[in-house]
Structure 1
Amino acid sequence: MKNILSFLFLSIGLSLSAQIGIKTVTPKAKLDVNGDVNLRNKLVVLNTTDNSLVQGTNGQILVSQGEGYPPIWKTLRIPEYEPNQFYLIFNNSFSDRTGVTFTGTQESTTASTRSASFVKGSDFSTFNNFKKITSLSQPFQVNSTESKTYFQFETVVHTNFPANAATDTSIDYACGIFVDDKLVNLRQGNIKASSASNTFLTHNQIGIASNLTKGTHNISVACSRLQSYNTNNATLGIGINVATNIDSFIAQSSLKVDVYEIPQVFNPILN
């Protein structure tokens, strides 16, 4: 009887430590199921911090922590995408206090041919005496062939006009938004003298580009002094103060970039 019991306990120990296969004679883990698994109740994992069993909450998934560590429950924060709907994929904003300045001798030669020169898609190299605002030149990412990219540029235009100058004392200027050095949006403006000295105004423009190619693109903003009226000595500042009635903080430029896409490619979940 003693020998029989010893053999029985030895058999039970071997079976408890052996690998078990269901629909397979060569199990590759302690429990290897070759087929469907139907759980009728809860699935729990070990919390190694306090040795408790955790069954997770609604909407959570099991995530591996690597070999030798138990999996943990995680909340997957990925929105549900609907077909043919645009979603905000990229969003960033930039600022610049350096700006650009122009003297009376730095006017663009395109002032008299604006309609022919300021054409959408034209290369930046063809824009005479346009200066880029340094810190607004930035990369952004597009991941889908169906996208809409919005740009919002805001700055302050400043001059050192004297007070009570002639009513027709003014300066024409222009600012363009470029993607990969190609023009996507341009706005012209005019700053006039007033009863106060050192006139300034706020300039705001919004541009859009549709269906840019997938990959990294570069955004830049460039401005120019186009033409002066009854003043050649005044300095024009865009995104920078040229007199002390305002400072560089007030005059600074900002640019916001939003990329809306119809999602097409998703990163796979790997083991």
Structure 2
Amino acid sequence: MNKIFSILFLTIGLSLYAQVGINTAGPNAKLDVNGDYNLRDKLVVLNATDNSLSQGTNDQILVSQGEGYPPIWKTLRIPEYEPNKFYLIFNNSFSDRTGVKFTSAEESTSASSRSTTFVKGADFSTFNRFKKIASLTQPINVYSTESKTYFQFETVVHADFAANGTTDSSVDYACGIFVDNKLVNLRQGNLKASSAANPFLTHNQIGIIENLTKGQHTISVACSRLKSYTTTNVTLGIGINVATNIDSFIAQSSLKVDVYEVPQVFNTILD
């Protein structure tokens, strides 16, 4: 009987007063419990879509939708990881049709100091007349102190050489992959004139960097025209066509980034 009266008094109290506190003289909600709370039966919330009461399902949790909105049930999915083993945490690919162009007057002075300039960890500011390929500059996130990040860059190098050019007519170029403006990988190439006008080639480049610091990083790709041989007034395009024998679709650049990590902090995923 005492229990019945207690429930009645609590119900009457909730209906008469805007806020009720248990073990607190200053409640901050309609029902403010200052202390432990045991729930022996069920917990239901309002389903705003059909105004029904929802109990959720096994292993679901309540997630706030913000002030003025009822909480909703969410399924918590935590992937199972084996300790000390790498897992693919981030995977994405990017493309660019803008590319970069270089005239004969835009050759880099780095051509004469390649062995000292093109070193791992060198800052982008030291690379003379390197141009970044705009849409390949992208952010990535690393969550573990143990990681391996792989890069695969592909583009087309195009030059408007005249037909029947001599085999000694060519242009050296270079492309580098940078993380936070620090060089992690660089490849050089040479495009030669041929019996056909406006030759082009496909440039492929793969790089890796280990154990980036935890947090956000910026990936970028930059290229340069290094040196010309027995040729003048030739435009070089990297990731963009410089003549009509190919178009921007064929010449476009792509960058694929894969981040493998040994998980340390699990970022929960909610459906």
* Closer/same/farther in 2, CA of residues 161 and 79 from structure 1, 3 Å limit: same
Instruction: Give the fraction of aligned pairs with identical amino acids, expressed as a percent.
Output: 74
Structure 1 portions without partners, runs of 5+: 1-7, 20-25
Aligned to 2:207: 207
- Secondary structure, aligned partner of 1:113: helix
Encode CA deviations 1:10-37: one digit per residue, 9 max, x unaligned: x675255467xxxxxx8898x9997998
Distance in 2 (CA, whole Å) between partners of 1:51 and 1:108 is: 68
* Closer/same/farther in 2, CA of residues 234 and 50 from structure 1, 3 Å limit: closer
Distance in 2 (CA, whole Å) between partners of 1:44 and 1:170 is: 75
Question: How many correspondences in the alignment?
Answer: 252
CA RMSD, 1 decimal: 3.5
Encode CA deviations 1:113-150: one digit per residue, 9 max, x unaligned: 32222111111122122111122222222222111112
Encode CA deviations 1:47-101: one digit per residue, 9 max, x unaligned: 7577888776565455567899887653222311221122333333322222111
- Secondary structure, aligned partner of 1:263: coil
Structure 2 portions without partners, runs of 5+: 11-21, 25-30
Distance in 2 (CA, whole Å) between partners of 1:66 and 1:110 is: 56
- Secondary structure, aligned partner of 2:77: coil
1:187 aligns with 2:187: yes
Aligned to 1:114: 114
**Equivalent residues in 2 for 1:117-196 (5 A)?**
117-196=117-196
Amino acid at match of 2:95: S
* Closer/same/farther in 2, CA of residues 218 and 164 from structure 1, 3 Å limit: same
**Equivalent residues in 2 for 1:1-271 (5 A)?**
13-17=4-8, 45=44, 48=47, 60-61=60-61, 73-266=73-266
Between 92-101 and 179-188, the greater mean CA deviation after superposition? 92-101
TM-score between the two structures when normalised by the length of structure 2:
0.76
Distance in 1 (CA, whole Å) between partners of 2:259 and 2:150 is: 6
2:77–2:268: 8 Å Cα contact kept in structure 1? no
TM-score between the two structures when normalised by the length of structure 1:
0.76
* Closer/same/farther in 2, CA of residues 68 and 105 from structure 1, 3 Å limit: closer
